[in-house]
Structure formats: structure tokens, C-alpha cells
Amino acid sequence: MNNRDSIYCVELKNVVKRFKTITAVDHVSINVEQGKVFSLLGPSGCGKTTTLRLIAGLEFLDEGDVLIDGIVVNDIPPYKRECSTVFQNLALFPHMTMEDNIAYGLERRKVPKPEINKRVGDMLDLMGLIGMEKRRPSQLSGGQQQRVALARSLILRPKILLLDEPLSSLDRKLRKEMQIELKRIQQEVGITFLYVTHDQKVALSISDIIAVMRDGKLEQVGSPKAIYEAPRTMFVAAFMGAINIFPGKVSAGGNGKINIKTESGMTISAIESKDIHNEEISGISVHPELIEVSPRDKDAKGDNNFIGKIREIIYQGDFVEMIISLDRSDKLITAHLMRSSLYQEDQFSPGEEVLVHWDLRSSNITK
């Protein structure tokens, strides 16, 4: 099907890629909408970079189809595909000036010299790189190199920009700045982004859609809010920081509320899920920032109240991390208490007995 007005910039249909005995990409299907930021998120080795390379044409697939703007591009070499990649190590040509690096793609397309000069000039302006065009990459700072890599790809006005962990080599402050820059440029130019990262914070802040990958397969695809607040599998929950994981099965239910009996012997209440059936439930996950810690003798209200003993208190600056062991089980719960909440409660100390509570809605059901 050659539908040029596809609403999807990129589609992957049941794509498989194997390297000898390893299946790096295992029947992955995704649809990337025009003009949106789509992130592939996952740990090292999950197949996200391979997937990106399959779209770029730097790897050829074994099964399935890759479509760009509705056209199947499986056999089309990378230099004929209308996408551009920003590599993790930037891959700036060290023997060329900044100008020549940025102009490279346009020269390959035989764009006339005057037009190249104009477009390069505009791009340098957009990226705040005016005055440095004769410099070699080795003479630029990390942030500047990043922008050159971006400029080099953007100048070609590709249908989609593929970014492979472009910020991982930058220090924290620079990373934050570049993140905002990237988002700004993306929205200004209106270009589709496919962003590959292992950093959930980056993915959460810039994406419209996140696809979490594991061992070559898709675990969950959804908005950042959905991925973070309602992870559907234990893996996604743990990866997004919901480190309180309680494997268990449904023991009772009614009126939209269900009880889960965990392996450690606890009974946790949650609100029935619309997309996960009771029989499919494998457990509950709770984010540490949703756990309330109060003095032991406080009145227990609502569901999910447990008594526990503080094992460890770890100071993290903006919040305090508390590791609490629950009575009647060996289960350890991690709670993050923001500084503001600590003003209302007494100071806690290790060994103290406390009341642990979380709201019914904070219990997240996983498959």
C-alpha cells in the first residue's frame, strides 16, 4: 500500500531481527504519529537501538515490514531513506569543519552551493553556533558538538529524526538544558522524533508516547502518565521506579474494589482495573512517593494500613528515603517523604515503629 498521506510517519509491522542465536527485535509493531515524540525506553540490550537502526536502514530486518510515510522501505538502503539519525557518539566527521559537517547531507543531494550556504547559515543561527563554523569538532564543547550533530540531521528536513541516546554523554546540567532545547526545536519545526533512551526521566519529560521494551519485545506503550502511574507489568513498574512490588493473586472482590493476597502474606486493596482481568493479575506495585508514614499510634483510616519498623533512613536532599520492614512479613517497603511532609510529622528514627498507609488508588495492578 502506498498511501502517502499516512497519519503515521513510521510504522513497524511485526518486525523481527536476529543476530545469530539472539532475537534482538521480537515481533515488534509500533505506529509513530506525525509530528510527535515517540520514545523507546528500556534497559541495555532490550533491542531499542536495533529497532532504531532498522528504521534508519543501518540493519536489515529478517521478518516484517518497516514503513516510512506509508511506503514499505525494507530493502531501501540508508542513503535513500528519508530519515536522519543522531548517533549516541555523535559521529561528527573529525576531518571536516563544523560548516562542512552540517552541509554534508545537502552536498550529497547536489543542492546548489548558494542555497547550501544560506541553509547552513540559518541552521547555525537556530542552534546558536554562529562564529564557530570553521572549527573542527575536536575544538567544540560537548554541548556544541551535540547541536552540530542535531543541525547536520535537521538541515535535511527528514520525515523523522532518529535519536539514539543523544544526551547520555553530557553532564547533568547540560543534559537538562539540551532536553529543553530538543523539545523546543521539535515543536518549532514540527518534526517527528523517535527517541531511544534508558533514562526514564528524559523519556517522561519529552515524549508524547513511550514504548517500554524488554528482551526485544514491547512491554507497554502509552503516554508518559500512563506508563508512570499505571504500569501494567512488574517489569515496567520496577523500571519506572515503583519499587514496591507485591506479587500476589486476587482473593476477594466486589463493588469495583478488589483484595490481593500477596506472597508475603499481606492483603492489599486496589481498585478494579479496566484492562486487566482479575485472573490475569500477578501483583500490585506502589510508587514510593505515594506511601504515607506516620507515628504508630495514629488512627488508621481507609485501606492499606500496615505496621512496620524503620530499618534505614537515607537522606537524599529533596526527599528522605525510608526502608521499612512490615510486621508479620519480611516484606520491605520503600517510602519517599518529601521535605514538606516532614514538617507535619515528628522526626523519625531508625528502629521506630510506624504506621504505613497508602491510598486505594495508589495500588497499581500489574499483569
Partner 1 sequence: MKSSGRSTITLTVLTVLVYMIMWAPAIVLIVFSFSSNKYGISWENFTTRWYFELLSNVGVRKALARSVFIALVTVVIATVTGTLTAYGLYKFKFRGKGTLRTVILLPIIIPYIVTAGSLLVYFTRVIHIPLGYITVIIAHVSFSIPLSVFVVLGRMQRINWTLEEASMDLGANKLTTWRKITIPLLLPAIIASAVLIFPWSFNDFTVTYFTAGVGITTLPIYVFSQIRFGTIGPVINTIGTIFILLPVIGLLLMNFFQKKEML
Which of 73/210 has CB closer to partner 1? 73
Amino acid at 55: I
Query: Does 113 engage in binding with partner 1 (CB under 8 A)?
Result: no
CB of 59 to partner 1, least distance (A): 10
Angstrom distance (rounded) from CA 15 to CA 214: 15
Residue 35: alpha-carbon gap to chain centroid: 18
CB of 50 to partner 1, least distance (A): 13
Query: Does 138 engage in binding with partner 1 (CB under 8 A)?
Result: yes
Please spell the DSSP secondary structure of 111-164, one letter per residue.
--HHHHHHHHHHHHHHHT-TT-TT--GGGS-HHHHHHHHHHHHHTT--SEEEEE
Q: Could you say which of 84, 233, 304, 366 contacts partner 1 (CB under 8 A)?
A: 84
Query: Does 50 engage in binding with partner 1 (CB under 8 A)?
Result: no
Query: Does 109 engage in binding with partner 1 (CB under 8 A)?
Result: yes
CB of 83 to partner 1, least distance (A): 8
Q: Could you say which of 28, 46, 54, 56 contacts partner 1 (CB under 8 A)?
A: 56
Q: Specify the stretch interacting with partner 1 by CB under 8 A; choose among 76-84, 167-175, 181-189, 200-208.
A: 76-84
Which of 144/273 has CB closer to partner 1? 144
Which of 109/172 has CB closer to partner 1? 109
Q: Where are the alpha helices (DSSP H) in the chain?
A: 48-56, 98-108, 113-127, 142-154, 172-189, 200-206, 224-229, 234-239, 339-342
- Interstrand relation of 319-326 and 8-19 (parallel, antiparallel or unpaired): unpaired
Residue pair 84/153 in contact by the 8 Å Cβ criterion: yes
Residue pair 333/244 in contact by the 8 Å Cβ criterion: yes
C-alpha distances in Å from residue 172, one per residue of 139, 202, 204, 242, 303: 21, 11, 16, 23, 40
Q: Specify the stretch interacting with partner 1 by CB under 8 A; choose among 39-47, 51-59, 212-220, 323-331.
A: 51-59
Which of 136/217 has CB closer to partner 1? 136
Query: Does 104 engage in binding with partner 1 (CB under 8 A)?
Result: yes
Query: Does 89 engage in binding with partner 1 (CB under 8 A)?
Result: yes
Query: Does 4 engage in binding with partner 1 (CB under 8 A)?
Result: no
Query: Does 60 engage in binding with partner 1 (CB under 8 A)?
Result: no
- Interstrand relation of 209-214 and 37-41 (parallel, antiparallel or unpaired): parallel
Angle between helices 172-189 and 142-154 (to 10 degrees): 20
Angstrom distance (rounded) from CA 364 to CA 223: 16
Which of 161/242 has CB closer to partner 1? 161
**97 Cβ contact list (under 8 Å, min separation 6):** 133, 134, 135, 136
Q: Specify the stretch interacting with partner 1 by CB under 8 A; choose among 72-80, 140-148, 270-278, 304-312.
A: 72-80
Query: Does 351 engage in binding with partner 1 (CB under 8 A)?
Result: no
Angstrom distance (rounded) from CA 80 to CA 58: 11
Which of 71/90 has CB closer to partner 1? 90
Query: Does 157 engage in binding with partner 1 (CB under 8 A)?
Result: no
Residues at the site binding partner 1, with contacts judged by CB under 8 A: 56-58, 77-79, 83-85, 87, 89, 91, 93-95, 104-105, 108-109, 138, 152-153, 156
